[in-house]
């Protein structure tokens, strides 16, 4: 008996475009937090029609990698589908659970960083401390939040544990951002900065216990600060 021929399947143009845009994002072509080019610019660059582009963008929004902001444009929300899932899950959890997870990850990472860091990584941490001080001195809350996130990622990278780095990077700002960008008063900001200095000093001294203690203290201070701000509302 003659076999039925299997139909040949070819991906639609929109599906191919989804794969292309996803690869571009994963490769860092559009970093997380950046606004992607306008619809018209992408149509001209990619040689596709409006409906095809909108279908592809819509698919990436559904996956959680892009976010459309009415009147502002479309922004990169996550660098991969896995990151999108993890950020969404962390975003739906209560804040205490997020901070508890942050404590677990950063305590271990800080202790490991104290034992494994390179001189170049140590210099990088010192430079980020200086950047944080400059942002606070200039009362630039946005810059301070950004530098703080970079600092904690740098500590995790200094741990030398690639899997931990990947998990931490996938969780992204869900771990380090404070809801609503809550402001710190002068005393709180100084205590926050002092704990970061203590953490780097411990990493430099290869004091794993001291580094873990400092990392845990940073998260406790953040939790106490957020709890106090919530009570004042």
How is residue 3 annotated by DSSP? Answer: P
pTM of the shown model = 0.69
Q: Mean pLDDT, to the nearest integer, of 184-191?
A: 80
Nearest-angstrom CA–CA distance, 188 and 194: 10
- pLDDT tens profile 64-89: 899 999 888 999 988 888 778 887 78
Nearest-angstrom CA–CA distance, 169 and 180: 21
Q: Count CB-CB contacts under 10 A for residue 5.
A: 6
Cβ burial 12-22 (10 Å sphere, 16+ → b, else e): ebbeebbeebb
pLDDT of residue 1: 47
pLDDT of residue 225 exceeding 60: yes
Q: Which long-range contacts (CB under 8 A, 24 or more apart) does 72-76 make?
A: 72/35, 73/35, 73/36, 73/38, 74/35, 74/36, 75/33, 75/34, 75/35, 75/36, 76/25, 76/30, 76/31, 76/32, 76/33, 76/34, 76/36
Contact 48, 17 (CB under 8 A): yes
pLDDT of residue 216: 93
Higher per-residue pLDDT: 3 or 149: 149
pLDDT of residue 183 exceeding 70: no
Nearest-angstrom CA–CA distance, 22 and 28: 10
Lowest-confidence region among 24-33, 136-145, 179-188: 179-188
pLDDT of residue 144 exceeding 90: no
pLDDT of residue 11 exceeding 70: no
- pLDDT tens profile 14-24: 899 999 999 99
pLDDT of residue 84: 82
Q: Mean pLDDT, to the nearest integer, of 31-46?
A: 92
Mean pLDDT score of the chain, rounded to an integer? Answer: 85
Is residue 226 very low, low, confident or very high in pLDDT (cuts 50, 70, 90)?
confident
Lowest-confidence region among 102-111, 131-140, 199-208: 131-140
pLDDT of residue 109 exceeding 80: yes
Lowest-confidence region among 118-122, 148-152, 206-210: 148-152
pLDDT of residue 185 exceeding 50: yes
pLDDT of residue 46: 92
Higher per-residue pLDDT: 189 or 151: 151
pLDDT of residue 5: 47
């Amino acid at each position: 008996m003659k076999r039925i021929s299997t139909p040949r399947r070819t991906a639609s143009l929109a599906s191919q475009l989804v794969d292309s845009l996803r690869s571009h994002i994963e490769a860092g072509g559009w970093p997380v937090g950046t606004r992607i080019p306008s619809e018209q610019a992408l149509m001209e660059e990619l040689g596709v029609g409006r409906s095809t582009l909108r279908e592809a963008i819509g698919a990436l929004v559904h996956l959680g990698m892009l976010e459309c902001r009415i009147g502002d444009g479309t922004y990169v929300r996550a660098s991969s589908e896995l990151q999108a899932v993890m950020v969404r899950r962390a975003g739906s959890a209560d804040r205490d659970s997020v901070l508890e997870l942050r404590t677990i990850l950063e305590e271990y990472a800080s202790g490991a960083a104290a034992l494994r860091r390179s001189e170049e990584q140590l210099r990088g941490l010192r430079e980020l401390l200086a950047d944080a001080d400059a942002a606070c001195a200039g009362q630039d809350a946005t810059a301070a939040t950004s530098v703080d996130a970079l600092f904690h990622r740098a500590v995790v990278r200094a741990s030398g544990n690639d899997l931990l780095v990947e998990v931490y990077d996938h969780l992204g700002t869900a771990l380090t951002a404070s809801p609503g960008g809550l402001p710190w008063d002068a005393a709180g900001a100084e205590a926050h900065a002092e704990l970061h200095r203590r953490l780097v000093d411990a990493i430099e001294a290869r004091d794993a216990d001291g580094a873990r203690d400092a990392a845990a203290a940073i998260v406790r201070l953040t939790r106490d600060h957020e709890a106090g701000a919530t009570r004042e509302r």
